A and B are shown apart, each in its own frame.
Chain A
Amino acid sequence: MSAAISRTVHQSTLDDANWVRWSLITIALGFIILFLCVPLALVIIQAFAKGFDAYLSALSQPDMQAAMRLTLLTALITVPLNTVFGVAAAWAITRFEFRGKNLLITLIDLPFSVSPVISGLIFVLLFGTQGWMGEWFLEHDIKVIFAVPGIVLATLFITFPFVARQLIPLMQEMGSEEEEAALSLGSSGWRMFFLITLPNIKWALLYGVLLCNARAMGEFGAVSVVSGHIRSLTNTLPLHVEVSYNEYDSVSAFAGASILAGLAVVTLILKTFLEWKQKNERATASL
């Protein structure tokens, strides 16, 4: 009701200045085309510059394949871990009262506020041969920096706010009455989580997982610092794109980029779908 009123008010005030509306739309659209669509198109054009066969052979190079495998492996490890962490953190923050709660909320956001390169450097400082724990790892013959564990750790750190950030506001808004009702009806804690909590947060959770995954696969800065760029061993897909480009292997670079761009497009579509689902569900819940 109030939304309808405010919409008509807005429309009538803007009707007086139609040109404002159209120029703003033009600017926004022009900006999107110039900075998003044109580069995306260029990536595709460059990837296919030497024909479809060259594109396919670039994708089937062993280095490229290794980079894709490593990217998938990293995502497969970090996304489930951060999903569990995100749910646990959101649960703790929205369902319990404890000292240091605000500190925990701030800490969850830390990876957002620290430059990824700095995050990578922190891991080098901690686990590198000259680092604090470097000696211990050296003695036990465990390689973290310039190896896969380092890449996983850096990605884990970078992607860890995504799920928690999605869940905290939703779970705060939902309150805990339904969960308490389930418990009072004799349900165990796990049953309550799977039968009551999870169905209520599933779309937000999927949304968080999706964003977490996109970042895990696309992360460059932090991973670049800890990886060491060893071909076929520690190059993730984004790193492989950079290395190929620097070596003037543009077909390879843009073929890799096209995969990442495709991932982004799929993510966007899924994201829109999940947003629509969430909005729908909340709208019916508030009836």
Chain B
Amino acid sequence: MSIVLSNISKNFGDFSALHDIDLEIPEGELVALLGPSGCGKTTLLRIIAGLEQTDKGQILLNGEDKTQHHVSQRGIGFVFQHYALFRHMTVFDNVAFGMRVKDKKVRPNETEIAKKTHALLELVQLDWLHNRFPDQLSGGQRQRIALARALAVEPSVLLLDEPFGALDASVRKDLRQWLRNLHHELNVTSIFVTHDQEEAMEVASQVVVLNKGRIEQQGSPADIYDYPANAFVSKFIGQTNEFQLSHFSTDWFEKVGLPISEEITKDSIAHVRPHDIEITKTTNDTPVTLKDWQHLGALIRIELTKILPNGNPKAVFAEMPNEQFKRLQLNRGDKVDLKIRHAHWFH
């Protein structure tokens, strides 16, 4: 089901949590709402769910205006960050809850409910736990049960609030992959909130970057990484080195391979990803010094120091494959040349 938000705004007292949000999500997408904490992403998710009321604007689910609908009438499935499993019910009763509270007219009978509940528990690979209570499960298991419970009402939209936020790093990795596969299988339009850009890039088919209650950019993970719309997105998605034109000489930019075009002004800043910086051994007395490096598996992360014309040192980070770095045979304190392959200019 498609989701269209137009002009959504929300204030909490004097604090403006969301400001004129317009967003279109086509059917079947798995969308990440990504942003730093306090950017309004959870509020936006809760407004779509109906757990929070918008001050103005409209929410269309599949073309139907649902702005005034109560949360129970929106046909959404909501997965809470801390699972919110019913602690006094077994896993089975938790998953069956949504079917059991249906109106008598549309409520399936107990046999059908049991059949479907077991099917859902099998889908999340936890049917063997159906007799347990939530407090007897691990975090990852609870999260999967919460997902099965939300899916039991056959929601047209699945909303997940920081679904991996409270989990161990290794469990998180597994669950990400699993959620992605599950989405492929079910193809239900899903939105999840996260503050972890790596998670958004890995799981989502579309990423919406939010900051201070506004949408900064929406696009595929590759688009957002390769063509950040502004400095905030560029800095938030992955690491960047910032080179402000006024801090360097124009000659230096020319030398490292960044020609200065006409629209670039004194205040322009070049954002350069660490892997877009190439380093080569030099015999010249260039003031770029190799300070240190760390192994990140296949990549080496290199820390360089560049002395600015005003005498202050500036840290520059570069990344290159392990093998390539070894071939350069560099030591701490060596002088190196920089080559910048690609940069985004923000003015």
Chain B associates with chain A = yes
Q: Which residues of A contact B (CB under 8 A)?
A: 177-178, 180-188, 191, 195-196, 199-200, 284-285, 287
Residues on A with beta carbons closer than 8 Å to the beta carbon of B97: 182, 185, 187, 195
CA–CA, A40 and B50, complex, Å: 58
Given contacts A191-B101, A287-B135, contact A184 B76 (CB under 8 A): yes
CB pair B98–A185 under 8 Å, yes or no, is yes
In the complex the two chains form, is A178's CB within 8 Å of B153's CB?
no
Q: Is B77 an interface residue (CB 8 A)?
A: yes
Binding site for A on B (CB under 8 A): 49-51, 70-73, 76-78, 80, 82, 84-88, 97-98, 101-102, 133, 135-136, 146, 149-150, 152-153
**Do A183 and B84 contact each other (CB < 8 Å), given the known contacts A191-B101, A285-B135?**
no
Known A-B contacts A187-B72, A188-B72; A195 and B101 likewise in contact (beta carbons under 8 Å): yes
Measured between alpha carbons, how far is A181 from B160 in the docked complex, in Å?
Answer: 12
Residues of B within 8 A of A196 (CB): 86
Q: Is the CB of B87 within 8 A of A185?
A: no
Closest CB of chain A to B74's CB: distance in Å?
Answer: 8
Instruction: Offer 12 A-B interface pairs, CB within 8 angstroms, sorted by A.
Output: A178-B84, A180-B51, A180-B78, A181-B80, A181-B86, A184-B71, A185-B152, A187-B97, A188-B101, A195-B97, A199-B88, A287-B135
Known contacts A178-B87, A191-B101, A200-B87; is-contact A184 B135 (Cβ 8 Å): no
Query: Given the complex, which residues of A lie within 8 Å of B73, measured CB to CB?
Result: 186
Q: Are B101 and A181 in contact (CB under 8 A)?
A: no
B102 partner residues in chain A, CB cutoff 8 A: 186
Give the distance in Å from the alpha carbon of A195 to the alpha carbon of B98 in the complex: 12
A196 to B98, CA, bound (A): 12
Give the CA-CA distance A178 to B76 in the complex, in Å. Answer: 16
Q: Beyond A183-B72, A185-B149, A186-B73: 17 further Cβ-contacts under 8 Å?
A: A177-B82, A178-B84, A181-B84, A181-B85, A181-B86, A181-B149, A182-B86, A182-B101, A184-B77, A185-B153, A188-B72, A188-B101, A195-B97, A196-B86, A200-B87, A284-B133, A284-B135
Contacts of B77 in A (CB 8 A): 184-185
Chain B contacts for A182, CB-based, 8 A? 86, 97, 101
- Distance, CA A196 to CA B88, complexed state (A): 8
Chain A residue at smallest Cβ distance from B71: A183
Give the CA-CA distance A48 to B150 in the complex, in Å.
65
Q: Please give me the residue from chain B that is nearest to A177 by CB atom.
A: B84
Contact A177 B80 (CB under 8 A): yes
Chain B nearest CB, measured from A69 CB (Å):
39
What are the residues of chain A within 8 A of B101 when measuring CB–CB?
182, 185-188, 191, 195
Closest A residue, CB atoms, query B70 = A183
**A178 lies within 8 A of B86 (CB):** yes
Q: In the complex, what residues of A have CB within 8 A of residue B51's CB? A: 180, 183-184
Chain A nearest Cβ from B234, distance in angstroms: 35
**Complex formed: what's the CA distance from A182 to B152 in Å?**
12
With both beta carbons as reference points, the residue of chain B lying nearest to A187 in the complex is identified as B101
- Bound-complex Cα distance A191 to B146 (A): 19
Q: Give A98 Cβ to nearest chain B Cβ, in Å.
A: 13
Q: Are A184 and B78 in contact (CB under 8 A)?
A: yes
B88 touches A200 (CB 8 A): yes
Distance of A160 from chain B, by nearest CB (Å):
28
Taking a contact as CB atoms under 8 Å apart, the answer to whether A180 and B82 are in contact is no
Min C-beta distance of A172 to chain B, whole Å: 16
With a cutoff of 8 Å between Cβ atoms, the chain A residues found around residue B70 in the complex are: 183
In the complex formed, the residue of B with least CB distance to A198 is B88
- Is the beta-carbon distance between B98 and A186 smaller than 8 angstroms? yes
State the CA gap A195–B88 with chains docked (Å).
10
Residues of B within 8 A of A178 (CB): 84-87
- Min Cβ gap A195→B in Å is 7
Shortest A258–chain B CB gap in Å is 40
Q: In the complex, A285 Cα to B51 Cα: how many Å?
A: 25
Please measure, in the bound complex, the distance between the C-alpha atom of A182 and the C-alpha atom of B77, giving whole angstroms: 11
**CA distance in complex: A285, B135 (Å):** 6
> How many angstroms from the CA of A272 to the CA of B78 in the assembled complex?
39
Contact (Cβ within 8 A) A181 B78: yes
Instruction: Check B80 against A180 for contact (C-beta < 8 Å).
Output: yes
Query: In the bound complex, do residue B88 and residue A185 qualify as a contact, i.e. CB atoms below 8 Å apart?
Result: no
Residues from chain B with a CB closer than 8 A to the CB of A183 are 51, 70-72
Q: How far is the CA of A199 from the CA of B88 in the complex (A)?
A: 7
A158: min CB distance to chain B, Å: 33
B84 near A186: Cβ-Cβ < 8 Å: no
Q: Which residues of B contact A184 (CB under 8 A)?
A: 49-51, 71-72, 76-78, 150
Residue of B nearest to A188 (CB): B72
Nearest chain B residue, comparing its CB with the CB of A284 = B135
Distance of A285 Cα from B133 Cα, bound (Å): 10
Q: Please measure, in the bound complex, the distance between the C-alpha atom of A179 and the C-alpha atom of B125, giving whole angstroms.
A: 26
Contact of A185 among B82, B133, B150 (CB under 8 A): B150
